[in-house]
Structure 1
């Protein structure tokens, strides 16, 4: 039996490890780390690729709902349905009646632009993605503060701050690096309401109440500025607004922050001094800071900490992401931004992401005559990942036509009118820029290992074919993805063939540092903006500040009397990525079921025992999960598992109206809740409409 090896980039988390994928008789049989690739220490997800590709539950044919039941159809009929629907929609209601929603899994990296190209050609302003509640609030805050996205570059760091990011569960390769730093005498500060694996080896574990991170960051600025631990030369040459920031943070003492965060004032002061006196020092964070009403201002505060201590864009500090500037098609007309959902409410998000803010979708669909008529979801499961699932279910039910393209049947797919089979990464070619997630200017090609299983199509093919059907073939003229990738790569002087010859990737730029010395930053002033005039012009606080989550909640005081615990969802586990991969048996063995993590005293107050099924309730609804009682969880707080469906869907508890005032991001990491034993009387569990 002949074995073929395909060189691929793993898509099963954002890191993109190099894979050698072994194929026998047209089937993927295993995956191992690719020796030629600099990132090749694969995790259990990557090692399970073969089980994903050949899983018996995959969607393998187009399916159309007829009289409430799905029936198999061919791709020709599916394309006819979509073409007629979109042509009629554009002619009657206008192109903005189409909303396209894509997920993180659409393409590995650079082919994620293709759905956006289609939307611009079709004319809709309502293209959206999981960027409406992940990653791009960080980018917004960073763009207006330091000019680009920052990434914790821990190599050589003397002090690492893991702010709300549980690296062993999300990025094991980085967790190993942090452990080596600690073993070598470096310091580690962990900011997390749970005593995580890294918290147990940290110099300081700042165990704070979720939603209060901004208060902690402001107190650290108070100490570092007040004790003159900042880099005076850097501040003078490369920042604007420092005097205003210095005067502003005087009020935010560690004692003030301690009352809010529950972290002892002395611990805040010592941690601030440790970070302020360490050169270089790196702060690592991802989605957690975004998911509360202080998200943007918290990230601005963190960027300010990085900048004033001179840890900006230096090895061992927080460095800018390197990414390639690829070619995009020219579009014949501008889209109408006044028709974009969220553009008026969140203009800086619309400008930064160039997308609709999908968190407003529910309220749009509750209007008497909703503007959105057709929704296409590709590689995303809104019913599992977007806030306030009960309200979203009702909103999706009001859509005239719902089309879902995915690998497996999700809760969203089951609601659809048309379901399309999607190819996995092993069945398609993808372009991967490691600058996108790893701050490494390395371009790779992920090669196809096998032909698509069943009648699955790669994601890009849907948009190429729809463009041709609707008369946009001239702007999207490619017949296959390799032609398109060659077009994208032209500015770099690279080609698909060159990348095939170098499976470990091609370095398209030198690793840069201290780019602020080379010329103006990409901010209005060209410098680090500790005070943002652009924010002031839009009516936002120009300096990082703190909002009390309770005060920003409608009837907040009454709500927290009824729901006295603070809940959060979204914590990562190694086995899964968001709502993906629960079909894979060995990954399911690692994390077999959803749980609510609860402290010992809190569980005792509610009469809850470890392993007992409990009901967690919020103003939005209720879920049932097993209690995992632990001394590692902060009292008064519960961590609800994320990404599960049915009555264990954590987003049944979250609100879509309690949002960051600048980005529109939902407060997924802070919501009022309570816990009941299942034997106690309580409201019915609302998992339906």
Structure 2
């Protein structure tokens, strides 16, 4: 589709296309107006069930991105030394032939796993998945294996068998208390923040757990300014108070959970005063948060980046998942609801169905021995290696060589250890 910054005066040729923004995973609804095939205006889609017409500044600037003179829309081949910034435009045929020749040479000498593919949604990872299968099992990896979404997905699957703490809601109108743990919806997820605001207008109270005075924290009824990296201790403190005061569903716990006795014994070691010393959150605020969450008619807890970036993120998020479980209202209105898999091919995420991922030999995959739940045959997600082990294979050639990287990301800023990554590339 052609794009133009100015509209034609021929109104009769105006067409409106309903679509979604692709700049993040939320996919807010968009209305794209075109005149004679040229895009002239982008607005929010009022009929979208989640965004309801909202677009953030990135979405509203979509047309500017498209028209930017800095946008690369043709193949560019490096003609100078690496880092010199010297590029030459080449045809698509020439670029594809050159890439295919080089990749075939690498696969012929070292095998398909010597080709690494790095991608992360909202990029079109389907194309990469098909490519991996086409060449017989390339080394597909994402940079979020130890942070971002994958630890949260793994934690929820270990606890519930499915995703439940991720803010995947369409509305939260029935929630009386909403706990936002390490998610700043006001500034990072505007359309879902609008749904929280809708709930607040109906009387919902919010608890925000965040070390920073974010806008979400400023708008909350209770702000728990947790010390970075101590989320697990804070969760144990809340569980301690809820169990001690009897703010949990005993019948649900007896019939539908396992390991409750061990959890209670562990939580007993974390009274509010001890947790306050660890987390820097006042003991009285811990008690108040537990009371708000534990005694409301309906409570929901949502978390994401803030809790997934720590060194013990999976353990911490499992503890967060125990909080709504104790109330016994899972998958009910106003409480945490299951975010069901789509059944689509989603490399790096859903791997429960045998036909939903790639068929490569999981035993031979990088990281399968060290991180079996991430990369092995019994991986919780669709299996893929830890990014650092891919980088190590580039540097050492062990346990097998990695001689090419196809990426839609910027690995120098998306993978840890920038200088090591630079040396590998």
Q: TM-score, normalised by structure 1?
A: 0.54
Matched pairs, number:
391
Matched residue, 1:33: 44
Q: Secondary structure at the match of 1:319?
A: coil
Matched residue, 2:148: 134
1:232 and 2:250 are equivalent in the alignment: yes
Does the aligned pair in 2 maintain the 1:282–1:311 contact within 8 Å?
no
Greater shift after overlay, 305-314 or 126-135?
Answer: 126-135
Matched residue, 1:357: 386
Correspondence for 2:21 among 2, 6, 10: 10
Q: Secondary structure at the match of 1:161?
A: strand
Deviations 1:352-400 (A, max 9, x none): 232222133333333266711000002x12223222322222222xxxx
1:47 and 2:60 are equivalent in the alignment: yes
Matched residue, 1:56: 69
Matched residue, 1:392: 421
Correspondence for 2:404 among 374, 382, 395: 374
1:210 and 2:228 are equivalent in the alignment: yes
Q: Secondary structure at the match of 1:162?
A: strand
1:307 and 2:325 are equivalent in the alignment: yes
Q: Secondary structure at the match of 1:251?
A: coil
CA shift in 2, pair 1:187/1:130, >3 Å: same
Does the aligned pair in 1 maintain the 2:173–2:202 contact within 8 Å?
no
Show the 5 A alignment for 1:185-334: 185-326=203-344, 334=359
CA shift in 2, pair 1:55/1:247, >3 Å: same
Deviation at 1:167, TM superposition (A): 0.6
Deviation at 1:229, TM superposition (A): 0.9
RMSD (Å) for aligned C-alpha atoms = 2.3
CA shift in 2, pair 1:36/1:195, >3 Å: closer
CA shift in 2, pair 1:9/1:277, >3 Å: same
Deviations 1:45-103 (A, max 9, x none): 22211111111001121112234232221111112122222222222111110100113
Matched residue, 1:344: 369
Show the 5 A alignment for 1:516-531: none
Does the aligned pair in 1 maintain the 2:187–2:215 contact within 8 Å?
no
Correspondence for 1:96 among 110, 113, 130: 113
1:21 and 2:51 are equivalent in the alignment: no
Matched residue, 2:6: none
CA shift in 2, pair 1:182/1:333, >3 Å: closer
Does the aligned pair in 2 maintain the 1:281–1:316 contact within 8 Å?
yes
Deviation at 1:256, TM superposition (A): 1.7
Show the 5 A alignment for 1:644-655: none
Task: List gaps (5 residues or longer) in structure 2.
Answer: 1-9, 347-353
1:81 and 2:95 are equivalent in the alignment: no
Does the aligned pair in 1 maintain the 2:357–2:382 contact within 8 Å?
no
Does the aligned pair in 2 maintain the 1:136–1:353 contact within 8 Å?
no
Deviations 1:242-282 (A, max 9, x none): 11211221112212211111111121122112111112101
Task: List gaps (5 residues or longer) in structure 1.
Answer: 397-689
Aligned equivalents of 2:69, 2:284: Cα separation in 1 = 56
Aligned equivalents of 1:323, 1:18: Cα separation in 2 = 21
Q: Secondary structure at the match of 1:371?
A: coil
Aligned equivalents of 2:74, 2:224: Cα separation in 1 = 51
CA shift in 2, pair 1:266/1:116, >3 Å: same
Deviation at 1:311, TM superposition (A): 3.5
Matched residue, 1:686: none
Deviations 1:472-495 (A, max 9, x none): xxxxxxxxxxxxxxxxxxxxxxxx
Q: TM-score, normalised by structure 2?
A: 0.86
CA shift in 2, pair 1:123/1:30, >3 Å: same
Q: Secondary structure at the match of 2:214?
A: coil
Aligned equivalents of 1:164, 1:204: Cα separation in 2 = 14
Show the 5 A alignment for 1:107-122: 107=124, 112-122=125-135
Does the aligned pair in 2 maintain the 1:189–1:203 contact within 8 Å?
yes
Q: Secondary structure at the match of 1:248?
A: helix
Matched residue, 1:624: none
Q: Secondary structure at the match of 1:16?
A: coil
Deviations 1:622-672 (A, max 9, x none): xxxxxxxxxxxxxxxxxxxxxxxxxxxxxxxxxxxxxxxxxxxxxxxxxxx
Deviations 1:16-62 (A, max 9, x none): 12211112354322111234432332222222111111110011211
Higher strand proportion (structure 1 or 2): 1
